[in-house]
Amino acid sequence: MSTKLSQKQIGQRIAELRKMKGLSQEDLAKSVKISRPSLAQIELGNRSVDILELQRFSMILEFSLDYFMSKDFSASQEIDSSEEIKGKEEERISVPTLQISKFKNVLLYILERCAGKPNVGETVLYKLLYFSDFNYYELYEEHLTGAKYRKLPFGPVPQKLDTIIGQMIEKGQLQRVKTEYHGYPQTRYLPLEKADLTELKASETEIIDRVIEQMSDWSAAAISNYSHKDMPWLASKEGEEINYELAFYRDAPFSVRNYGDEIEAQ
- Write out the chain's pLDDT in tens, 266 residues: 456 788 888 988 898 888 888 888 888 988 888 888 889 889 888 888 888 888 888 888 888 877 788 877 764 433 343 444 444 444 445 678 999 999 999 999 999 999 789 999 999 999 999 999 999 999 998 999 999 999 988 889 898 898 999 999 999 999 999 999 998 899 999 999 999 999 999 999 999 999 999 999 999 999 999 999 999 998 888 889 999 988 988 888 999 987 665 544 43
What is the set of domains in the chain, with CATH numbers?
A: 7-86 (1.10.260.40), 100-249 (1.10.10)
How many angstroms separate the CA atoms of 102 and 91, rounded? 26
How many angstroms separate the CA atoms of 98 and 104, rounded? 11
Name the pTM for this structure: 0.72
Residues ≥6 apart with Cβ < 8 Å to 51: none
Alpha-carbon distance values, 201 to 98, 106, 126, 204 (Å) = 17, 11, 21, 5
